[in-house]
Amino acid sequence: MTKAAWSLLAYGLYIGSAGAVMLVVPGVFLWLVGLPAGSEMGVRFGGVLALALGFYDVSAARSEAVAFFRWSLYPRSFAFVAFTALFALGLAPLGVFLVGVGDLASAGVTWLALRSDAISAGSDARP
């Protein structure tokens, strides 16, 4: 497995695990990110989506789908921008911002891994 595949595998396991927590024990997820108790159905719905995303990421990593690795950089970076804006506007607590930081950091790791893999392969390709 390439470095980029490993990075996406790790992210897929992370997002899938978060989705499982959201689906099974939504109150724990809300507590972890500092959100007030509310519509657990909405959190469970998000958990199903996160599980699906985790499945895509793990599957792409296992099949070395480099194009998918590149595509994944944009939504993970957007998540950071969106969560930062929600936090800055006072609409979300610090925990939501920190989830965004994790998404940006994971995208950065994948981007660096893509570059490293390209250099190792002797390619000029950019991530």
What contacts 70, CB < 8 A, 6 or more positions away?
114, 127
> Cβ distance 97 to 33 under 8 Å?
no
Which tens digits make up the pLDDT trace of 84-100?
999 999 999 999 999 99
Please state the rounded mean pLDDT for residues 86-115. 97
Q: Which domain holds residue 47?
A: 3-120
Which tens digits make up the pLDDT trace of 35-76?
888 888 999 999 999 999 999 999 999 999 999 999 999 999
113: in domain:
yes
126: in domain:
no
127: in domain:
no
114: in domain:
yes
Overall domain count for the chain: 1
